[in-house]
Amino acid sequence: MNETKLIEKAIEAMSKAYAPYSKFKVGAALLTKSGRIFTGCNVENASFGLSICAERVAIFSAVAAGEVQFEKLVVVANTDSPVSPCGACRQVMSEFGDFEVLLVNTRREVVRTRVSELLPRAFKLREG
């Protein structure tokens, strides 16, 4: 999978974000080991606790489609600097292994990391 294409998919997903309160738009594109791509955008709610991040939308969509082995996740935000996933997203990501994560900003600057770097010593009930 061409990394540029994956970044473009995340940017496209970001354009669909529903963020009327914070104006903080995020998109994600998840590449599975089988080669499928799942995208997600953040969706806010007036009751902020009911909002969901782009990363979890992409991961949950993949799981709902029967995919649980991930290769790479691109997270892009409408910011000057690449942004890192929140703690809840890091925990969800860690459930599915130590895959590569690319953090991207609107200028397409990329910070490369891995799930294990984002959440060292993650809480786990099983190895996986």
Residue 83, pLDDT > 80, answer: yes
| Structure confidence at residue 123 (pLDDT) | 87
User: What would the two tokens of residue 35 be?
Assistant: 């080669």
16 CB neighbour count, 10 Å cutoff: 14
CATH topology (fold) of 3-118: Cytidine Deaminase; domain 2 (3.40.140)
Band (111; pLDDT cuts 50, 70, 90): very high
pTM: 0.95
- With 0-12 CB in 10 A as exposed, 13-18 as middle and 19+ as buried, what is 100? middle
Averaged pLDDT of the chain: 95
| Structure confidence at residue 127 (pLDDT) | 67
Residue 92, pLDDT > 70, answer: yes
pLDDT in tens, 22-68: 999 999 999 999 999 999 999 999 999 999 999 999 999 999 999 99
- With 0-12 CB in 10 A as exposed, 13-18 as middle and 19+ as buried, what is 98? middle
Q: Is 41 annotated as a binding residue?
A: no
Active site residues: 55
Per-residue pLDDT, averaged over 105-121, amounts to: 95
